[in-house]
Amino acid sequence: DVKVTQSSRYLVKRTGEKVFLECVQDMDHENMFWYRQDPGLGLRLIYFSYDVKMKEKGDIPEGYSVSREKKERFSLILESASTNQTSMYLCASRNPGLASRRDTQYFGPGTRLTVL
Amino acid sequence: GENVEQHPSTLSVQEGDSAVIKCTYSDSASNYFPWYKQELGKRPQLIIDIRSNVGEKKDQRIAVTLNKTAKHFSLHITETQPEDSAVYFCAASNGGGADGLTFGKGTHLIIQP
């Protein structure tokens, strides 16, 4: 079974703080993704990484950055948190080399971030 | 980029009846269409997916149909049960690339006893 974990289920931060959200997968997946989920808006892609040290902007990258120094770990960074970044953050991973499931994304449990 | 529209936003059906959720997409290059189910407080879980070389796929009570010409795909759940109550998301991507998924906004399915 694929296991994707996130460092915190709930997080409360203050405006202007630097925030790190961590995601770890244990299945040697090459691709990793960060989404945010907001009511009525579905899931929106923030950043993704198709391999170590690689990163690509998604649909809503403003105010975020990412880091992928090791294959199993993908970090989302809020350089200066703002109230409009209060949201549920979901990490996902994918193994494009597995023919039968090359497109399947496996999600972590999510981190609910509140910025006060 | 890709844009995915999903309808309805809320769907209430009697237990045992069928439920249908519809999505349209804009990018003709998209060729992978998954459906995720998200129960309250839990992570999205893949329930079924389809690639553009197939028109229909079925897995027990769940089926997905794809019309490439019209750029729409639908989720069909038959003989609905209380445990089918959840939010369902459709998505699209250019499978084979490393791109992320573009999701619809979700459908809250309510199964009435």
pLDDT at B99 over 80: no
Decide: helix, strand or coil at residue A100. helix
Q: Please give the Cα distance from A93 to A20 (Å, whole number).
A: 18
- Which of A45, A103, A106, A111 should we substitute to test contact with B (largest number of B Cβ atoms within 10 Å)? A103
Contact: B102, A41; criterion CB under 8 Å: no
Q: Which two tokens stand for residue B14?
A: 């009697």
Average pLDDT value for residue range B4-18:
97
Note the pLDDT of residue B96: 54
Contact: A96, B98; criterion CB under 8 Å: yes
* pLDDT band with cut points at 50, 70 and 90 for residue A95: confident
Q: Please give the Cα distance from A49 to A56 (Å, whole number).
A: 6
Q: Please give the Cα distance from B80 to B26 (Å, whole number).
A: 30
HEC profile of A16-65: CCCEEEEEEECCCCCEEEEEEEECCCEEEEEEEECCCCCCEECCCCCCEE
pLDDT at B97 over 70: no
Contact: A42, B43; criterion CB under 8 Å: no
Note the pLDDT of residue A103: 77
pLDDT at B45 over 60: yes
- Which of B9, B102, B107 should we substitute to test contact with A (largest number of A Cβ atoms within 10 Å)? B102
Contacts of A31 in chain B (CB under 8 A): 98
